[in-house]
Amino acid sequence: MPDFSRSKETKIIAVANQKGGVGKTTTTINLGAALAERGRKVLLVDLDPQGNASTGLGIENEDRDLTTYDLLLGEAAPDELVQPTTVKNLSIIPATTDLSSADIELTANEKRSFLLHDALRQPAFDSLALDYILIDCPPSLNILTVNAMVAAHSVLVPLQSEFFALEGLSQLMMTVREVRQTANKKLRIEGIVLTMYDRRNNLSQQVEVDARENLRDLVFKTKIPRNVRLSEAPSYAMPALDYDPLSKGSVAYRELAQELMAREQNEKV
């Protein structure tokens, strides 16, 4: 599918892992906030029917008349869909449970895997001058996650530092490979980020050793610690970086943003 022309290409990253409870939404919100803090203009696309990223950034249910469901179906313009958040430079297209029926409703659509790809490349998005679009994927490898991978330049994978973590990763890698072969040849793995890491726990350390042995440079040096502030922040409808800027979790996500941006610079050299 041809891309619409852009004067400056926005980097689109799908944050995905089919396993739930790995820190996927926490990573999307706080990495987005950390990039925004560094002056980058960031849009979060909530593609999870649970809408946790929307709730975590303070978007009330009554304020979600237009959502990513409307984005996929082309039933609303970008300026109608994008909502500001309390974080400067960070905006969001929210989600509701309407997305849960997408699998069934999109089955008959011939372009079903390219809906998000085409939607995010509308010329109208150019006026937003975005540096990053982060897509918070659902915890499954369904049509929504495939849409995210077809639309994205890369996939960032949060990997929980617990038993069986690496086993589920192989299925995700296979899906990335299939999308690369059939719909998005340039799709790549942005990196694997270890989440809920406890340095006092032997299991966390073993997961890290295994991940680095198997995936090498794909694994970010930054590790996201198990941190109560990261868990508390969503209930106050804000990123941990605003809730407790000096917490270990907030510091880690700033380091992850810095590492992500440094990788990009190295790729351009």
Give the model confidence (pLDDT) of 177-212 as tens digits: 999 999 999 999 999 999 999 888 788 888 888 889
Residues 228-255 have pLDDT tens digits of 999 999 999 999 999 999 999 999 999 9
Domain count, the chain: 1
6 part of a folded domain: no
243 part of a folded domain: yes
- Give the C-alpha separation, 81 to 77, whole Å: 6
189 part of a folded domain: yes
- Give the C-alpha separation, 14 to 202, whole Å: 30
Neighbouring-strand partners of residue 43: 91, 133
230 part of a folded domain: yes
43 part of a folded domain: yes
Mean pLDDT in residue range 48-76: 94
Pairwise pLDDT comparison (35 vs 127), residue with the higher score: 35
Extended strands (E) in 58-198: 83-84, 90-93, 132-136, 154-160, 188-197
Continuous segment of H or E residues that includes residue 46: strand 42-46
Q: Which residue's structure tokens are 């790729």?
A: 267
Cβ partners under 8 Å of residue 112, min gap 6: 106, 143, 147
Tokens of 17: 């892992």
Neighbouring-strand partners of residue 134: 13, 44
> What predicted TM-score, i.e. pTM, was given to this entire model?
0.93
1 part of a folded domain: no
Evaluate if residue 157 carries a pLDDT over 70. yes
Residue 134 belongs to domain spanning: 11-268
We report the CATH number of the domain holding residue 162 as 3.40.50.300
64 part of a folded domain: yes
82 part of a folded domain: yes
Are 8 and 129 in contact, with CB atoms under 8 Å apart? Answer: yes
Residues 87-135 have pLDDT tens digits of 999 999 999 998 888 777 887 788 899 999 999 999 999 989 999 999 9
